[in-house]
Amino acid sequence: MDLRPPQADSSAPAVECALAVNSADSAARRPASAPRVLLYSHDSFGLGHLRRTLTLAAALADALRDASVLIVSGNPCATQFQLPRGVEVVKLPAVTKDDDGAYTARNLRGGLALTRELRARLLLATFETFQPDLLIADHQPIGLDGELLPVLRRARHCGTRTILGLRDVIDDPATVAAQWSHPDIREALAGLYDRVCVYGDERIFDQRREYPIPPELAQRVEYTGYVVRESATRRSAVGTITRQQVLVTAGGGEDGESRIQCCLEALALGPTPWDTTVVLGPLMHPLQARRLKRMSRALRNVRTLSFHADLPRLLAETDVVVAMAGYNTVAEILQTRVNSVLLPRVFPRREQLIRAERLEAAGLARCIAAPTPRTVRAAIEESLGLERDWRRAPSMDGADRTLGIACELLGAGALVRAHSEAR
């Protein structure tokens, strides 16, 4: 994968200088009570990065008085979520991954080169126009194929503070070491970020021990806990629901077809003394979704939805969830404290497999790396009667702790409303 940033126009240095000066002057004139925060999320696959970014944006807008929060995202669903007051979205042309795990343009017929060029130019123009006081980048240190690197260099020149936010597990250590050996990524990690927030718990996976964290970066790494929005509370054991409930979800659904099919085949092995809700995900291909819905119609006590707007509420009404092991799904499972059977994706990254295995080792989930209908059926039946010790569950206050770090960098401590007051 080419990680080099796009080449600048030959006239760029003079323009850069003028824009940098204007940006610095504007930032100095802008009232400290009206900070501007830019959140970047590359979003090539699924909904995880976007949902985490939206959670952080909502926390910032809720707590910082008169703040303007702008999200720049390539997710195809970026404009479909309800936004809180003070938050807006700039949509970048979308990319996805082919069967070999390589990036490709999602919709634009001009191909990947045109998509990359448009993304890089839109991203830089957004930064220059918005003139943020704080930039928070999600997951990719220099963005998709290096598109964020010019912005990071400009931010350092203009005095914009920067945070790199990393999910709990990126990939296996060898893959991360190879990626982070790239000179541009080394430059970014060494000198272009003020702080690094790991949105996880070191008791589950400690990046400082398992990844090649550069020595110059180590002192800026801070674990925040998992970033997750507020969740509905678990339903009472006594209520209107008399049968146990099982939820099957594939997150965004773009790569969930095989896992959903395996679960439906598990349900077809025999009558179930529970009700099942299957959520396919909004990014599943329509042909795949129609085929799975036909399969589910042949089963009793199964309802199939393409999308559910409030998955945490659905989790709160569930006794066991069968899911892939993406970041947001797992975070919401841990927050709701519902028993889970995790069927992690193993390609193109091993991130989900590592996360699921570590959670199983901690006694917080069941992991099946190579699921079959019979192993999934047996795991559901076992989990329906299982009592887990949730006292070992990781911290779930990542949004609040990241907000604290952002306010420290902004010097905005006196401008932050207490959450009790804000709500």
Dist CA 136 CA 389 (whole Å): 35
- The position carrying tokens 């990781």 is 394
* CA 52 remoteness from chain centre: 4
DSSP assignment of 314-328 equals: HHHT-SEEEE---HH
pLDDT given for residue 349 in this prediction: 86
Dist CA 36 CA 32 (whole Å): 10
Instruction: Please tell me whether residue 412 adopts helix, strand or coil conformation.
Output: coil
- Cβ–Cβ < 8 Å for 321, 315: yes
**DSSP assignment, residue 160?**
-
- Cβ–Cβ < 8 Å for 97, 254: no
Asked whether the domain spanning 244-392 has the same topology as the one spanning 12-228+397-422, the reply is yes
Fold classification of 12-228+397-422 is Rossmann fold (3.40.50)
Peptide bond into 348 cis (omega under 30): yes
**Domain spans in the chain, listed from the N-terminal domain onward:** 12-228+397-422, 244-392
* CA 396 remoteness from chain centre: 14
Give the tokens for residue 248: 């099957």
Side by side, which strands form the sheet with 134-138?
87-91, 68-73, 36-41, 134-138, 161-167, 195-199, 221-223
Dist CA 98 CA 103 (whole Å): 6
**DSSP assignment, residue 64?**
B
pLDDT given for residue 110 in this prediction: 77
pLDDT given for residue 234 in this prediction: 62
Q: What is the CA radius of gyration of the chain?
A: 22
pLDDT given for residue 27 in this prediction: 47
Interacting residues of 329 by C-beta distance below 8 A, sequence separation 6+: 48, 249, 251, 311, 323
pLDDT given for residue 416 in this prediction: 58
Phi and psi angles of residue 187, each rounded to the nearest 5 degrees, phi first: -60, -45
Interacting residues of 303 by C-beta distance below 8 A, sequence separation 6+: 275, 276, 277, 278, 296
Longest alpha-carbon distance in the chain: 72
pLDDT given for residue 232 in this prediction: 57
Q: What is the CATH number of domain 244-392?
A: 3.40.50.2000
Residue type, 347: F
Angle separating helix axes 257-267 and 373-384, nearest 10 degrees: 70
pLDDT tens-place values along the chain, 423 residues long: 333 333 434 333 333 333 343 444 444 445 456 899 999 998 765 677 888 999 999 999 999 988 999 999 987 766 667 788 899 999 998 887 776 767 777 878 878 889 899 999 999 999 999 999 999 999 899 998 899 999 999 999 999 999 999 999 999 999 999 999 999 999 999 999 999 999 999 999 999 999 988 887 888 899 999 999 876 556 544 455 679 999 999 988 888 999 999 999 999 999 999 999 999 998 899 999 999 999 999 999 999 999 887 888 899 999 999 999 999 999 999 999 999 999 999 888 899 999 999 999 999 999 999 999 999 999 999 999 999 999 889 999 999 999 999 999 999 654 555 443 444
CA-based nearest residue to 231, from 163, 353, 345, 321: 321
Residue type, 393: A
**DSSP assignment, residue 98?**
-
